[in-house]
Structure 1
Amino acid sequence: MKLLTLGDKAAVGLSVLCLVHCIATPFLLVTLPALPALAFLEGELLHLGLLFAVVPISLVSLAMGYRVHKHLRSLIIGGLGLIILLAAAVLEHDLSDKSIAVLLTALGAVLVALSHVLNLHLRCPDNQERVTDWQT
């Protein structure tokens, strides 16, 4: 159970980090363009690293959480968030307007974080009685 909680918390943290990265990087690069240390922020490697970390952690944590609480809502929200994150990463090179990729990534990150918070909530035995109407 502690491993599940750790996985959910790690996925939330990575999703928030991804969201902060998407929002803060353009601002930092415009306001501090002469600072060479910021060049790694706009690199694709950081973005892909976050993606490759959050996808497997999310898949395992959400699937194992479902086995405990049997509610599909967290799986659906998390799956949609992961699909959006993956689509943003794949389509980023094809989009002429990079802000669309940033918006998709931000939306995906929020959905993934939300699904893991919900997964944590649903796994808590005290909450099982309050969410019986969520069961699908």
Structure 2
Amino acid sequence: MNQTHASTHTWDRLAIGLSGLCLVHCVATTIFLAAMSAFGGLLGSHWVHEVGLTLAMTLGAFALGRGMLDHGFMMPSAVGGLGLGVMAGSLTLPHDGTEAAATMLGVLILALGHDLNRRGTSHPFGRR
């Protein structure tokens, strides 16, 4: 095989690879957009938010309560409870973007409560 033939072979392989990536991109984009349009109505349903809030409240009560028993600090549970309250209150807001903003704020406050809970277990004054 001469030098020119090897160079052409390399360029052809790169072009075939790029064509394959293009095909994967087109198929994946089509599948993704079809799935989004199919599940878009489902994800926006009110019951999905209620189920998600129920799961968050159950997990939050367990994790924050368990942390309070482990390290003895109430602050993480209070902050987490505030976050859950903001999330629950957001269900009463109109769907003009305020519900989403309030939910995100509640989620951030809840995450802060969980982070404080995690840090409480390593605090030197916490229970062992």
- TM-score category of the 2 structures, normalised to the smaller one: 0.5 to 0.7
Map Cα deviations across residues 21-44 of structure 1 (whole Å, 9 max, x no partner).
xxxxxxxxxxx6992332212111
User: What displacement does 1:67 show?
Assistant: 1.3
Q: Distance in 2 between the 1:35 and 1:107 partners? A: 27
Question: 1:44 and 2:46 equivalent?
Answer: yes
Q: Which one of 77, 81, 84 corresponds to residue 83 of structure 2? A: 81
Structure 2 gap segments, 5+ residues each = 1-32
Compute the TM-score of the two structures, normalised by the length of structure 2: 0.63
Which residue number corresponds to residue 123 of structure 2?
128
User: What displacement does 1:103 show?
Assistant: 1.1
Structure 1 gap segments, 5+ residues each = 1-31
Compute the TM-score of the two structures, normalised by the length of structure 1: 0.60
- Say which one has the larger Rg: 2
Map Cα deviations across residues 8-28 of structure 1 (whole Å, 9 max, x no partner).
xxxxxxxxxxxxxxxxxxxxx
Aligned-pair Cα RMSD in Å: 2.3
Identity of aligned residues (%): 22
Map Cα deviations across residues 87-107 of structure 1 (whole Å, 9 max, x no partner).
111x13xx3x62111111001
Paired residue total? 93
Which residue number corresponds to residue 103 of structure 1?
101
SS at match of 1:56: helix
| Partner amino acid, structure 1, of 2:118 | L
